[in-house]
Amino acid sequence: MNNQRNSDTTLKPTRISALSDGVFAIVMTLLVIELSVPIVSKLKASEELGGMLMEMWPKFFAFAISFLILGILWFIHQNQFRYIKRSNGIFSWINIFFLIMVALVPFSTALIGEYHIYSKIAVVFYGTNGFLGMLMLNIVWWYASKNYRLIDKKTEPKTIKQIQIRLIVSTAIFIPAIALSFVDPLISIALYVFDSLFGIIGTMIWGGKDSTLSAEKLQSIA
């Protein structure tokens, strides 16, 4: 009876993964909503609209980088859940704190898109948001994989270590980027771009056949 009761109250990893997919879908949609259409008289649209769109390039740039970063976070998160077979209350809350950082991305994106390199605080805030998001993703994997607490017992130690190293490297890049924001915010933005490219290339090279996501999984966030 006790075993049955514990089984009934244990949160399934699939439910946590489904919640995360929903949050990512909403957050990525909110990024687009932040791109407001410039208001201009229809009579002067042909003359002024192009210039106004050009002035919005920092917002489009911030949107693109943030969308890519969110895509990388989602990919890594889903790849982790390939190995996670169990869950508990502590793990569920760690994942929720990770999602808090994900949900904050539209705000930090709007901030950096509005002030761009003219505000060091905006660039620092953006970098801190990304750093904390990656840090929580590290903690998600560390807690789940520690002594095979929640992951598949058949997972090779080499695989566990490789995933952790990649997470640490991606997280560490944010540290100098945040520090350099006080010197030259443009360098920090360049590092954010590099981190995005590093993450994209990493997921393609290190993903392998085993981490290929099914079409049904990709459709789950559509």
Averaged pLDDT for residues 16-31: 94
Residue 214 has pLDDT above 80, yes or no: no
Number of residues that make up the chain = 222
Q: Please, which residues have CB within 8 angstroms of residue 52's CB and are 6 or more apart in sequence?
A: 38, 40
What is the predicted pLDDT for the residue at 73? 93
- pLDDT tens, 135-155? 999 999 999 999 999 999 999
What is the predicted pLDDT for the residue at 215? 44
Helices 89-103/120-145 angle, 10° precision: 160
User: Which tokens in the block code for residue 161?
Assistant: 């270590």
What is the predicted pLDDT for the residue at 209? 42
What is the predicted pLDDT for the residue at 46? 67
Helices 57-80/105-115 angle, 10° precision: 160
Query: Dihedrals φ, ψ of 156, to 5°?
Result: -70, 140
Residue 32 has pLDDT above 60, yes or no: yes
Residue 11 has pLDDT above 50, yes or no: yes
Residue 43 has pLDDT above 70, yes or no: no
What is the predicted pLDDT for the residue at 48? 63
Is residue 151 classed as helix, strand or coil in its secondary structure? strand
What percentage of residues in the chain have a pLDDT greater than 70?
A: 82
| Degrees, nearest 5: CA angle 136-220-195 | 40
What is the predicted pLDDT for the residue at 42? 64
Averaged pLDDT for residues 53-78: 88
Q: How many domains does the chain have?
A: 1
Residue 81's domain spans which residues?
2-219
* Letter string b/e over residues 14-49, b meaning 16 or more CB atoms within 10 A of that residue's CB: eebbeebbebbeebbeebeebeeeeeeeeeeeeeee
What is the predicted pLDDT for the residue at 86? 92
Alpha-carbon separation of residue 49 from 45, 52, 116 (angstroms): 5, 5, 21
The greatest distance separating any two alpha carbons of the chain, rounded to the nearest whole angstrom, comes to: 75
Residue 1 has pLDDT above 50, yes or no: no
Residue 208 has pLDDT above 60, yes or no: no
CA-CA distance, 70 to 48, in Å (whole number)? 33
What is the predicted pLDDT for the residue at 6? 43
What is the predicted pLDDT for the residue at 38? 67
Considering only residues 98 and 193, tell me which one the structure prediction assigns the higher pLDDT: 98
Contact indicator for 112, 122 with CB cutoff of 8 Å: yes
Tell me which of 8-12, 29-33, 77-81, 195-199 is least confident.
8-12
CA-CA distance, 193 to 196, in Å (whole number)? 5
